[in-house]
Amino acid sequence: MLSRTCEPPADDPKLEAKVYREMDHGDVNRRFVTDLFRSGPVGPRVIDLGCGPALIPILLCEHAEQITCDDVESDDHSELVVMGVDNCAEMLELARFEIEFAGRLRQIQLQRIDLSDDESLDAELADTVICNTVLHHLDDPAAALRLAIRALQPAGRLFIRDLVRPETETEVERLVALHGGAVEENASGVSPSQLLRQSFYASLTLAEIRGLVSDLGIDADCVNMTSDRHWTLDCRRPERS
């Protein structure tokens, strides 16, 4: 079993943000949003922890509008509002451009916060808190989980998806070859495949994330494998945390 190895600090955060934005996350992001809406109520107030370039908040708003247009009997999602939070100034700079380009300035707001500070958001802000492939970037994922629970309204919904750490180096390399995209590196040695490799080593195992959520009063069975490389937590805010 591989031990967890936290990701090294970025030598050039702006460059890494650019490389991340250029990676093809389209299918993964669309599946995240589709699964979120299919499996339970969403919003109207949503917080995206670790929003990065705000691609998921934009997809959320687009998907919510489509649902409302397609089904007149569905709940009205047209007034969905999203707060995207991140600790990387370079990512938030990209996010502001993406939101403006998508015409979503009215629906999506941004805030810079430290996800390792479990009191960096006010309590009971949102009906839904989401987080997509962010916990593995953090030295202390439990702090972000506590923050997510704190930010939820009573009985609010928590929907988190992240990578699972493979058991062997061979399995890491197989998944990197399958999902890592282009292997070209720039002068700083940053490539999509290397970022993905680091992410796998920094991720939690299924047993580890189930242990963390159990400590917070969440049923461990709420965490399940949902792809060849992702686990998903879908639950209501626990009564105790």
CATH number of residue 49's parent domain:
3.40.50.150
Say if 9 falls within a structural domain.
Answer: no
Say if 215 falls within a structural domain.
Answer: yes
Q: Tell me, what's the pLDDT at 138?
A: 96
Based on the domain organization, do 180 and 75 belong to the same domain? no
The upper half-sphere exposure of residue 217, i.e. CA atoms within 13 Å in the direction of its Cβ, equals 10
Number of domains forming the structure of the chain: 2
Rounded average pLDDT over 92-105: 96
Based on the domain organization, do 55 and 135 belong to the same domain? yes
Q: Tell me, what's the pLDDT at 21?
A: 67
Rounded average pLDDT over 181-186: 57
Based on the domain organization, do 42 and 57 belong to the same domain? yes
Q: What is the pLDDT of residues 40-71, one digit of tens each?
A: 999 999 999 999 999 999 999 999 998 866 55
- Would the pLDDT of 72 be above 50? no
Burial of residue 190 (number of CB atoms within 10 Å: 0-12, 13-18, 19+)? middle
Reported confidence tier of residue 143, pLDDT bands at 50, 70, 90: very high
Based on the domain organization, do 116 and 159 belong to the same domain? yes
Q: Tell me, what's the pLDDT at 240?
A: 60
Percent of the chain with pLDDT over 70: 89
CA distances (Å), 149 to each of 4, 67, 105, 117, in order? 24, 27, 26, 13
Q: Tell me, what's the pLDDT at 183?
A: 53
Q: pTM of the entire structure?
A: 0.91
Which domain does 127 fall in, by range?
25-164+206-235
* Least confident window among 43-47, 153-157, 184-188: 184-188
* Cα 206 to Cα 220: distance, rounded to the nearest angstrom: 10
Say if 138 falls within a structural domain.
Answer: yes
Based on the domain organization, do 179 and 84 belong to the same domain? no
Q: Tell me, what's the pLDDT at 31?
A: 96
Say if 14 falls within a structural domain.
Answer: no
Based on the domain organization, do 193 and 226 belong to the same domain? no
Based on the domain organization, do 139 and 171 belong to the same domain? no
* Cα 23 to Cα 28: distance, rounded to the nearest angstrom: 11
* Cα 212 to Cα 19: distance, rounded to the nearest angstrom: 31
Based on the domain organization, do 187 and 85 belong to the same domain? no
User: Are 238 and 218 within 8 A, CB to CB?
Assistant: yes
Average per-residue pLDDT in the chain?
A: 90
